[in-house]
Amino acid sequence: NKQRVVIVGGGFGGATAAKYLRKYDKDVEIVLIEQNKEYYTCPFSNAVISGIEKMDFIKQDLNALQKNHKVKVIYASVRKIDGENNSVILENGEVIKYTKAIVSPGIDFKFEKGYTKDNQKYAPHAVQAGEQTLLLQKQLESMKDGGTFVLVSPADPFRCPPGPYERVSLIAYYLKNNKPNSKIIILDQKESFSKQGLFLQGWKELYGDMIEWRAGSFGGKVISVDPKNKKIVTDEEEIEADVLNYIPNQKAAKIAFDSGLVENDWCHVHPKTFESKLVKNVHVIGDASIATPMPKSAFSASTQAKVTALQISRLLKKQAIINPPKLANTCYSLLNPNYGISVAAVYSAEDKSIVAIEGAGGVSPLKDPDGHIRVLEAKYAYAWYETQTKDIFK
């Protein structure tokens, strides 16, 4: 009886898991199930929204995994995982048995306060790339000079902690060059955010007063939203936006809920193997899992995938797992095409939790008198994207 690993989701987590499991085990059968034939990455989607890059730049697919790495790719939607019977059930009713399953389905949204599945197109979140990216890009393009762009930034935890702030930076870059009388308001559902000092300093330096950030308890809290009319009620006033980028609060993707993998909105896992605490032989990685203090990032999803693939390959061969496995993350953000900042960390997965290794990470220096670090980090951001996508999708 051949061993089979079934992977659900072909984004950063799932695709990396497939590629690396093949590196660690040349015989195991690997089946990757993904609902979309094309995958548009969220990394660099902010550059597309602001007109710096085109959609083609962020387009990836699973063809190379299938052709070069002996991964069987099935394009289908998964209804649920039946942990009792070690099987994955597709939307069309087909049943696929597994020895182990890896699940990396990403996020879903909490539709509340007036934001719904049906009206999201009027106030696109653009935190699942593709159609949503284009919607927001088009709305920004047709905004009048002197208009107000409002971004609502979600409560923790959410996909890509620096993402909303990189987005307003690049939108400010676009507005400065095309519609300089416009302004940007960020309504934050939190009190602070990732790389805050660096962002606030960079915004002043590059864009003067164009970007206004309102913390949760200083006018940021959203009470309700009317996407169609682009109106938002905060606890202080009603704001009418010209473009409204509403990023709702988040939870694990639906398939995780339907498969009994979720407790309190997210999938809780054993840190050393990412095996679910609720369903045996099912490993959850990427944004759907809780791997605190790792952020929900593509980089995190891919290192979690590498560790999980390695541990599964060892478990299948009845070898001891690597103990403790190490993980890493770096998130670059662009404030303009030549101005980058970053945060990095290295982690050790211990018995009860994942621990950041002291002294092994940090953020860009606040002081960069001649600006050469910011220029270099912008180059690193592009280089990161190129190496990461090559490592995963080629």
The footprint of ligand FAD (CB under 6 A) covers 8-14, 33-36, 39, 42-43, 45-46, 77-78, 104-106, 127, 159-160, 163, 167, 253, 255, 286-288, 296-299, 301, 331-332
CB 86 within 8 A of CB 97: yes
Token representation of residue 8: 């659900």
Spatial separation of the C-alpha atoms in residues 169 and 152, rounded to whole Å: 14
Alpha carbon distances (Å) from 332 to 4, 32, 43, 55, 153: 36, 29, 9, 20, 18
Given the complex with ligand FAD, which of 124 and 234 has the nearer CB atom?
124
| Maximum C-alpha span of the chain | 67
CB of 141 to ligand FAD, least distance (A): 18
Query: Closest separation between CB of residue 59 and ligand FAD, Å?
Result: 12
**Residue 83 is encoded by which pair of tokens?**
């942990």
- We find the least distance from the C-beta atom of residue 253 to ligand FAD, in angstroms, to be 5
Q: What DSSP assignment string belongs to 205-222?
A: HHHTTSEEEE-GGGTT-E
Residues 225, 123 contacting (CB under 8 angstroms): yes
Instruction: Closer to ligand FAD by CB, 222 or 392: give it.
Output: 392
What's the CA gap between 41 and 59, in Å, rounded? 7
Query: In terms of CB distance, is 53 or 226 closer to ligand FAD?
Result: 53
CB of 34 to ligand FAD, least distance (A): 5
Phi, psi of 392, rounded to the nearest 5 degrees: -95, -45
CB of 35 to ligand FAD, least distance (A): 4
Least gap, CB of 76 to ligand FAD (angstroms): 7
State which residue has the least CB distance to ligand FAD.
Answer: 11
> Based on CB atoms, which residue is closest to ligand FAD, 35 or 196?
35
Residue 357: CB minimum distance to ligand FAD, A = 19
Shortest Å, Cβ 181 to ligand FAD = 26
In the complex, the smallest distance separating the C-beta of residue 38 from ligand FAD, rounded to whole angstroms, is 9
Considering the complex, state which of residue 207 and residue 274 has its C-beta at the smaller distance from ligand FAD. Answer: 274
Q: Which is nearer to ligand FAD, 272 or 296 (CB)?
A: 296
- Which of 78/150 has CB closer to ligand FAD? 78
Q: Which lies closer to ligand FAD via its Cβ, residue 111 or residue 233?
A: 111
CA dihedral over 271, 276, 282, 288, signed as positive or negative: negative
Cα-based distances in Å from 338 to 64, 174, 333, 334: 32, 14, 11, 8
Identity (one letter) of the amino acid at 263? E
Q: Cβ contacts of residue 56 below 8 Å, gap of 6+?
A: none
What DSSP string runs through 301-327? HHHHHHHHHHHHHHHHTTPPPPSS-EE
* Signed CA dihedral, 228, 229, 230, 232: sign only: negative
- State the Cα–Cα distance between residues 345 and 323, nearest whole angstrom: 19
Q: Whose Cβ is closer to ligand FAD: residue 232's or residue 288's?
A: 288
Helix (H, G, I), strand (E, B) or coil at 171: helix
Contact 140, 171 (CB under 8 A): yes
Is the link from the previous residue into 157 a cis peptide, with omega within 30 of 0? yes
DSSP state of 320: P
- Tell me the closest approach of the beta carbon of residue 168 to ligand FAD, in angstroms: 11
311 or 333, CB closer to ligand FAD?
A: 333
* Cα Rg of the chain (Å, integer): 21
